Amino acid sequence: MRVLVTAAAALGAVLLIVPLLGLVAESPWSELPELWADGVAPRALGLSILVSVAAVTLSLGIGAPLAWLLARNRFRGRGLLRSLVTLPMVLPPVVAGVALLAALGPTGPLGRALAGLGVELPFTTAAAVLAASFVSAPLLITALEGGLNQLDRRYEQVAAALGASRAQTLLRVVLPLLRPALLGGRARCWARALGEFGATIAFAGNLRGVTQTAPLAIYELLQTRPDQAFLLGALLLAGAFGIFVAARPR
């Protein structure tokens, strides 16, 4: 039995890791100075970090209250709401972009309201952040809701009985207990935002320095310099790996 488990685990590791090593090995590293010098790659990587971090922040801001609402309240339509807010996860990416265009584009209901305020979202960095949040926030919400559901509420009752205020209970008891769910959800949310392509190109466009994140720059490079596209892919991978290691819970 133990041999079987080990063998399956080894197979899984090989399956997941070998393609990544292949990408790194196949990339023409000698072209790195050239790729870096024309400015497209560094700008795209920088924008990727900015957009993905902003998307995680936004997802936390809107996702944490939603997860709380879903986990701690019984109300009509709760199951429906839960299904609806996690749905963007399963949308094919370009469809997610078209959905955003339909809602937030100039002809959409939210877009018209924004236009009244003089705001045009498409082709801005804000649109790229929204596109990334739209597809990645559900990952954070499901992780947080799961964490909240597994929390033993007696800890909170004890804290309250000992005289802690609701804010104290939240900060000193609930959040520390939620930490694993929060960190796991945040990592998944961030990874999804970093790799986002379809919703971004459809809703925010593919403008260098504005909405052209690394995946979009790879798409454009593939048309003309496929070797450098692989190289940028390997750089994105290396960057993500570095951040994962640095942000690993200790």
Partner 1 sequence: MTGYRIFSVLLALLALGCTSSPRPLLVLGAASLSEVLREIAESSPGGLEARFSFAGSQTLVTQIRRGLRADVIAVADPALLEGLRSRGRIGDPLRFASNRIVWVSRATASGPRLRLSELGSRPARLVLASPDVPAGAYARAALAGLDLLEAAEADLVSQELDVRGVISKLQLAGADAGLVYATDLPPGRYPELAVERLPEAVQPRIAYAAAVVSLSRSPADAGRFVAQLASPRARAILASRGFGPP
Rule CB under 8 A: which residues touch partner 1? Answer: 94, 97-98, 101-102, 105-108, 120, 122-123, 201-202, 205-208, 211, 219-220, 222-224, 226
Nearer of residues 98 and 237 to partner 1, judged by Cβ: 98
The region that residue 74 occupies, defined by phi over 0 for left and psi between -120 and 50 for alpha, beta otherwise, is beta
Q: For residues 48 and 211, which CB has a smaller minimum distance to partner 1 in the complex?
A: 211
In sequence order, the 6+-apart residues with CB closer than 8 A to the CB of 188 are 136, 139, 140, 143
For the bound state, the minimum distance from the C-beta of residue 112 to partner 1, rounded and expressed in Å, comes to 10
Q: Which is nearer to partner 1, 71 or 217 (CB)?
A: 217
Considering the complex, what minimum distance in angstroms separates the CB of residue 114 from partner 1? 13
> How far is CA 128 from its chain centroid?
12
- Name the minimum Å distance from CB 17 to partner 1: 19
- DSSP for 90-155 reads TS-HHHHHHHHHHHHSTTSHHHHHHHHTT---TTSHHHHHHHHHHHHHHHHHHHHHHHHHHS-THH
Beta carbon of residue 208, minimum distance to partner 1 (angstroms, whole number): 7
CA neighbor of 174 nearest in space, from 46, 67, 37, 74: 67
Phi, psi of 200, rounded to the nearest 5 degrees: -65, -50
> Could you give the CA distance from residue 222 to residue 218 in angstroms, rounded to a whole number?
6
Written as six digits, the tokens of 205 are: 């466009």
Q: Which CB, 222 or 237, lies closer to partner 1?
A: 222
Closest approach, Cβ 117 to partner 1, in A, equals 16
Q: Which residue, 106 or 176, is less far from partner 1 as judged by CB?
A: 106
Q: Residue 26 or 149: which CB sits closer to partner 1?
A: 26
Write down the least CB distance from residue 125 to partner 1, Å: 13
* Shortest distance in whole angstroms from residue 122 CB to partner 1: 5
Q: Is 114:175 a contact under the CB 8 Å cutoff?
A: no
Nearer Cβ to partner 1 (31/120): 120
Give me the torsion for CA of 192, 198, 203, 209, rounded to 10°: 70
Burial classification of residue 107, based on how many CB atoms lie within 10 Å of its CB (0-12 exposed, 13-18 middle, 19 or more buried): exposed
Task: Report residue 149 CA to chain centroid gap.
Answer: 22
